[in-house]
Structure 1
Amino acid sequence: MEPTASLPVVVIGAGPTGLAAAAHLAGRGLEPLVLEAGPAAGAAVREWSHVRLFSTWAEVVDPAAEKLLAATGWTAPDSAGYPSGGDWAGRYLQPLADALGDRVRYGARVTGVSRAGRDRIVDAGRGTQPFVVHVAHTDGREERLFARAVIDASGTWTRPGPAGGSGLPALGEQAAADRVSYRVPDLTDPEVRLRYAGRRTAVIGSGASAFTALAQLADLARREDGEGTHAVWILRRGISGSTFGGGTADQLPARGALGLAAKAAVDQGFADAVTGFRTDAMERDADGRVVLVGEDGRRLDAVDEVIVLTGFRPDLSFLGELRLGLDERLQAPVGLAPLIDPNQHSCGTVYPHGHRELSHPEQGVYLVGMKSYGRAPTFLAMTGYEQVRSVAAAVAGDLRAADRVELTLPETGVCGGAGLFDAPEAGRVADGGCCAPEAGRAADEGCCAPEPQVVRIGAPAGSAAAGEAPEGGCCGS
């Protein structure tokens, strides 16, 4: 085996964060090797190519990547514009991967990572051994690669959360697979549009993806070919001032407008909100429609389709031989977890973090990007870019640069940990959460979960501007 210092840094995943990591490594004279399971850069992003980001081009292009691209004659998009997922992949991610050349390999799925000659229980000589990465190629070949460090930017897209309120699939969820989707539908596709037009659809979830689905279904209902389209929004907690995000207080205006568009869908009668409902089972009626059954025994009226948007989970299966330090709740690095825990986190004030928060007992391995957040939501691309800037500096031995903060993140305009809203006794939280008077909200404003009910919120109040705002979320769930 080669001396460890002469080996490449293996980056898992050619998505936004993985390619940015490669650009930062290359800029420091280190050799990256990006392994992408899909056939092209941004394979996961391409699967939601129809969704528009709530971040501008200026916020989703990494500075080191832009510098690398500039040398190729790349023309940067309008920095104030809002790209779709397809735009992001086609106009930025693929050109960046092309600029990196043979440092990016496609059709290469990582099946295992360990220390060469050391399984996870062996201490002797562990720190001096290179990493060994097992790769399965689409042509059936298997390969073993050695690396000085491993940066896992494989994301969480392939592991969406289930409908079940317990974190497990609801009873009957798999049997109802023909009626269940775990993605925001592309209603510009005629076949997909036909699936939802004029039909009753349950949307389970409370984040940016759910907002997007609700806004798009409402837009379909307003159109002639979508007459009769109706959504039923399933929330595990109650309605509060923060349910629809930060609105005009959000420092990412399009993200705030997305929540307002979802609120307009409810206000205008295109969607009903069912609160305090934790899905326990999915049953089929005589017509094959899906009946959602709650943990409290309630049975909702049958729906034709179910869209489950309950977040994502990291795939840790191929990292089993590494000594990772992960939070028991979030499956995020223990140094990062307190900053992003929705049970504790308040006001969207996650501060930029780097190699120290992302480190593990196994030195030289880092989980970055959306995967670093584990099960926590509201990840932003610019967070991943700051992560890999710091990690690349640390791998290069430049701890001064690695420890430096070079980013200020925009606040969401929302106070309070989402997880706390599930419990009435959590109405007042110590760090200025949703019901705390010091957060600008009276304790009786209903931000703790009320009794389960079906509600319509207020009179029609959504503005056309909110409905026309970019409807997608940069990596939020």
Structure 2
Amino acid sequence: MTSETTGLPVLVIGAGPIGLAAAAHLLERGLEPLVLEAGPSAATAVRDWSHVRLFSPWAEVVDPAAEKLLAPTGWTRPDGAAYPTGGDWVAQYLQPLADALGDRVRYDARVTGVARAGRDRIVDADREQQPFTVHVTRADGTEERLLARAIVDASGTWATPNPLGADGLPALGERAAADRVSYRVPDLRDPAVRTRYAGKRTAVVGTGASAFTALAALADLAQDAPGTHAVWVLRRGLTGSTYGGGTADQLPARGALGLAAKAAVEGGHATALTGFRTAAVERTADGTLTLVSEDGARAEELDEVVVLTGLRPDLSFLTELRLGLDDRLQAPVALAPLIDPNQHSCGTVYPHGANELSHPEQDAYLVGMKSYGRAPTFLALTGYEQARSVAAHLAGDLEAAARVELTLPETGVCGGAGLYDAPAEEQSSGCCSAPAAESSCSTAGGGC
């Protein structure tokens, strides 16, 4: 800390699970956090998927430093073996944690830019001695500038879902069909949403936990609404690992999601369309949609499209910082090899912290989902360990920052790309092909 930064807070972007945990760890270290949340309340993104049940139990989604902060408030820890929904997580933990932090959390405060005070990204002179300057836009449109001694960006990736196009760009016609295309797991408890999908033919695009959840929900809806059917659009073929680890997954609720998706296909409520890489969306004369693949194949007579192809980080407000990001994943360069799905079909994501998350811009960190860039595999436990390590590093405790204080569960989930466009029978099933007890594919995977 320099004389220019003495007394300034560590600015945390985002009042979600990892941002709030980072604030708790900073306080525990004697550092003053200031959390800026773009939404009107804590965990705005989690509230958007409040109907989805986490596949990690309460024991794995409560941060230890946060629990210490909550204890004096009379907070009661939920049953560690129970599985919360996103709504439960907010109501029983995240909002109470934000309330315990008090005025250290500011809502309706959207960060629009971060830089070094008086230095754009080109200038070297005295750069590291300058505080960070943070531009913020309030809900009423007013702007302000704040100074900080360090930046911890925990803003996540929820606001920037990947598009439908297989090349990473929106498919032709995707924007024009926006009224029929969704990028979230539908909340079928909502009567209006239920009506939208009941008796309809819906394409579900994606192969992760969110796609499994959507397939299972639509299969349940089909029991009450005849004619409801899902067309599951996969860019690869079906393999033994497509449905995840099943009973071998040490996160049983996640294994169950994959099995539910498999049951939807085998029960006739979903049809798997493999090797389909979407290039265009067409609206036909009868009002239905058609997906067109890069090789000209067509998926026709679709009423709705649910795109669950992952998320990507918003780096637009960080352009004046010197970030060292992998050119594929947009994750920190030291972290990227540990999580790159092009390289790791199975294996262990090494618990990591400040060292792997560092950038050429000293004291600037991306944590949580945002630190993983476009990689699809993340656990809350991983983010809490990141927050602990970064707080220790900012407090000058380098030994604690480098120490590993996390053991991840074996997940039974593979994240590898397999052979590009290879038919199912040619792709390696990997270590997740059979839900056997001896299967030991372990990676931090798929969300919370």
Deviates more, 1:73-82 or 1:342-351: 342-351
Q: Which residue of 1 aligns with 2:344?
A: 345
Residue identity in the other structure for 1:197: A
Q: Which residue of 1 aligns with 2:417?
A: 419
Q: Which residue of 2 aligns with 1:476?
A: 447
Mapped to 2, the partners of 1:196 and 1:318 lie a distance apart of 37
Q: Which residue of 2 aligns with 1:331?
A: 330
Mapped to 2, the partners of 1:383 and 1:367 lie a distance apart of 13
Mapped to 1, the partners of 2:412 and 2:420 lie a distance apart of 20
Residue identity in the other structure for 2:298: R
Residue identity in the other structure for 1:231: A
Which structure 1 residue ranges, 5 or more long, are not aligned?
Answer: 446-472
1:264 is the counterpart of 2:263:
yes
Q: Within 5 A, what are the aligned runs for 1:153-192?
A: 153-192=154-193
> How many aligned residue pairs are there?
438
Q: TM-score, normalised by structure 1?
A: 0.89
Are the counterparts in 1 of residues 278 and 294 from structure 2 also a CA contact under 8 Å? yes
User: What secondary structure, in the 3-state scheme, does the structure 2 residue paired with 1:280 have?
Assistant: strand
Mapped to 1, the partners of 2:429 and 2:227 lie a distance apart of 38
Q: Which residue of 1 aligns with 2:143?
A: 142
Q: Which residue of 1 aligns with 2:439?
A: none
Task: Give aligned-pair identity as a percent.
Answer: 75
User: What secondary structure, in the 3-state scheme, does the structure 2 residue paired with 1:269 have?
Assistant: coil
- 1:224-280 CA distance string (max 9 Å, x none): xx1110000000000000000011111101000110000000010000000000001
Residue identity in the other structure for 2:363: G
Residue identity in the other structure for 1:79: G
Q: Which residue of 2 aligns with 1:304?
A: 303
What's the RMSD between the two structures over aligned residues?
2.0
User: What secondary structure, in the 3-state scheme, does the structure 2 residue paired with 1:419 have?
Assistant: coil
Q: Which residue of 1 aligns with 2:90?
A: 89
Structure 1 residues 257 and 301: CA distance shift in structure 2, 3 A:
same
Q: Which residue of 1 aligns with 2:51?
A: 50
- 1:75-99 CA distance string (max 9 Å, x none): 1111111000011111110000000
Are the counterparts in 1 of residues 345 and 418 from structure 2 also a CA contact under 8 Å? no
Structure 1 residues 249 and 475: CA distance shift in structure 2, 3 A:
closer
User: What secondary structure, in the 3-state scheme, does the structure 1 residue paired with 2:11 have?
Assistant: strand
User: What secondary structure, in the 3-state scheme, does the structure 1 residue paired with 2:417 have?
Assistant: helix
Shift of 1:411: 2.2
User: What secondary structure, in the 3-state scheme, does the structure 1 residue paired with 2:292 have?
Assistant: strand
Shift of 1:352: 0.7
Mapped to 2, the partners of 1:165 and 1:341 lie a distance apart of 18
Residue identity in the other structure for 2:185: V
Q: Which residue of 1 aligns with 2:71?
A: 70
- 1:361-390 CA distance string (max 9 Å, x none): 001000000000000112111110000000
1:29 is the counterpart of 2:27:
no
Mapped to 1, the partners of 2:299 and 2:138 lie a distance apart of 46
Mapped to 2, the partners of 1:273 and 1:400 lie a distance apart of 50
Q: TM-score, normalised by structure 2?
A: 0.94
Q: Which residue of 2 aligns with 1:453?
A: none
Residue identity in the other structure for 1:419: A
Shift of 1:141: 1.8
Q: Which residue of 1 aligns with 2:236?
A: 237
Shift of 1:301: 2.1
1:376 is the counterpart of 2:399:
no
Shift of 1:285: 1.2
Structure 1 residues 425 and 397: CA distance shift in structure 2, 3 A:
farther
Are the counterparts in 2 of residues 183 and 309 from structure 1 also a CA contact under 8 Å? yes
Shift of 1:420: 2.9
Structure 1 residues 391 and 283: CA distance shift in structure 2, 3 A:
same
Mapped to 1, the partners of 2:208 and 2:68 lie a distance apart of 33
User: What secondary structure, in the 3-state scheme, does the structure 1 residue paired with 2:91 have?
Assistant: helix
Q: Which residue of 2 aligns with 1:455?
A: none
Residue identity in the other structure for 1:422: Y
Mapped to 2, the partners of 1:394 and 1:343 lie a distance apart of 31
Shift of 1:414: 3.1
Are the counterparts in 2 of residues 246 and 256 from structure 1 also a CA contact under 8 Å? yes
Q: Which residue of 2 aligns with 1:39?
A: 40
Mapped to 1, the partners of 2:429 and 2:202 lie a distance apart of 32
Mapped to 1, the partners of 2:290 and 2:38 lie a distance apart of 37
Mapped to 1, the partners of 2:258 and 2:366 lie a distance apart of 30
Q: Within 5 A, what are the aligned runs for 1:118-133?
A: 118-133=119-134
Structure 1 residues 185 and 336: CA distance shift in structure 2, 3 A:
same
Mapped to 2, the partners of 1:251 and 1:245 lie a distance apart of 11
Q: Which residue of 1 aligns with 2:4?
A: 3
Q: Which residue of 2 aligns with 1:457?
A: none
Residue identity in the other structure for 1:265: A
Are the counterparts in 1 of residues 237 and 424 from structure 2 also a CA contact under 8 Å? no
Are the counterparts in 1 of residues 240 and 432 from structure 2 also a CA contact under 8 Å? no
Q: Within 5 A, what are the aligned runs for 1:98-137?
A: 98-137=99-138
Q: Which residue of 2 aligns with 1:463?
A: none
